[in-house]
């Protein structure tokens, strides 16, 4: 826990507009961007297909999968463009 009046990276990410669930239109692919800088990607019925960390810089996102795979994407007009996929904010 951070001292009173000190903002931590996780505190900042809790309020970041990109933290949360992102899904393809058919909901087959689901990215959950966690406030601690980790992500969980689900594919179809496989709920934890990929796990790793991510970093958002402006509207750009970099992913580092725990297996060593890397990827990136861009947030454009509230939509995540990643690896040829379009993901929408799940409300």
**Is there a contact between 90 and 23 (Cβ–Cβ < 8 Å)?**
yes
Structure tokens at 3: 């001292």
CATH architecture of 9-89: Beta Barrel (2.40)
Domain spans of the chain, in order of start: 9-89
Which neighbouring-strand residues pair with 80?
Answer: 75, 87
Q: What is the pLDDT of residue 16?
A: 82
CA 12 to chain centre: 15
Q: What is the pLDDT of residue 14?
A: 65
Q: What's the DSSP call for residue 45?
A: T
Q: Render each residue's pLDDT in the chain as its tens digit; 91 residues.
A: 444 443 345 555 567 899 999 999 999 999 999 999 999 999 999 999 999 999 999 999 999 999 999 999 999 999 999 999 999 999 7
Give the span between the Cα atoms of 20 and 37, in whole angstroms.
11
Give the span between the Cα atoms of 24 and 90, in whole angstroms.
9
* Statement: the pTM of the whole predicted model exceeds 0.85: no
């Amino acid at each position: 826990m951070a001292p009173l009046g000190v903002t931590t990276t996780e505190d900042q990410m809790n309020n970041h507009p990109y933290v949360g669930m992102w899904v393809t239109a058919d909901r087959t692919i689901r990215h959950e961007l966690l406030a601690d800088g980790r992500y969980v990607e689900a594919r179809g019925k496989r709920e934890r297909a990929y796990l790793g960390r991510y970093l958002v810089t402006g509207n750009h996102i970099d992913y580092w999968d725990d297996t060593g795979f890397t990827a990136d994407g861009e947030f454009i007009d509230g939509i995540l463009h990643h690896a040829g996929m379009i993901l929408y904010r799940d409300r």
